[in-house]
A = this chain, B = another copy of it.
Amino acid sequence: MGISDRKEREKLEMRKRIISAAMEMFIHDGFEKTSIRNIAEKIEYSPATIYLYYKDKDELLYEVQGVAFAQLLDAFMNDVEGTTPIERLEGLMRTYVNFGFKHPDLYDLMFIMRSPMRAVDDEWPNCDEAFRFLISTVEPCMELLRFSNISTAALSLWTFTHGLVSLHIRDRIMILGMDEEQTRALVNAAVDEYLQMIKK
């Protein structure tokens, strides 16, 4: 049936129209400050229409989260290069921090925001892939690193970079009393030092 094909295509287009507007506004103003009414206004539809395509506001977040994780994975695959495993791991860490500093609002809704987590057993699209990228980057380094196993290794590496990015995004690093530039330099220095420490 060509007619139901078109209908489905239109449905997908509408979902895309909604999610594009939503993502743009989430990045620009943040999730909380973006209202369903604002999104509706932007795409020139009624607020109620959005609920025909998405169950609730959280579902918009899930969708944007998926896109964001895909972007992070993209950054990993494009920017992480190097001949040795260790070089690749270092690249991964720097890419992660870079991503956080470059896209604070995306990072926020991926790793900091409350609520966006679905049920535990649910699939978390693109996030698992990004995490697996981490695992597969750490794995070949394990013999050269001081971690006792890959679980603590992955968690520790993630924790360190996430700590830096999240303290920065939520404006806590400024306790140190530095300007933006100094802060960034200090963060880079911390990453460099950490990368030294984990090596055997």
Contacts and interface: CB of A to CB of B under 8 A. Distances in A.
The count of identical subunits is 2
Contact of A127 (B111, B171, B175, B187): B175
A117 interface: yes
Nearest to A114: B170
A124 B175 contact: yes
Interface in A149-200: 151-152, 154-156, 158-164, 166-167, 170-176, 186-187, 189-190, 193-194, 196-198
Given A114-B170, A163-B166, 19 more contacts: A32-B114, A111-B172, A112-B166, A113-B170, A117-B171, A146-B196, A146-B197, A147-B193, A148-B189, A152-B190, A154-B176, A155-B176, A155-B186, A155-B190, A156-B160, A156-B193, A158-B167, A197-B197, A197-B198
Interface of A: 30, 32, 111-114, 117, 120, 124, 127-128, 131, 146-148, 151-152, 154-156, 158-164, 166-167, 170-176, 186-187, 189-190, 193-194, 196-198
**What are the 4 A-B residue pairs with the smallest beta carbon separation, nearest first?**
A163-B163, A159-B163, A197-B197, A162-B163
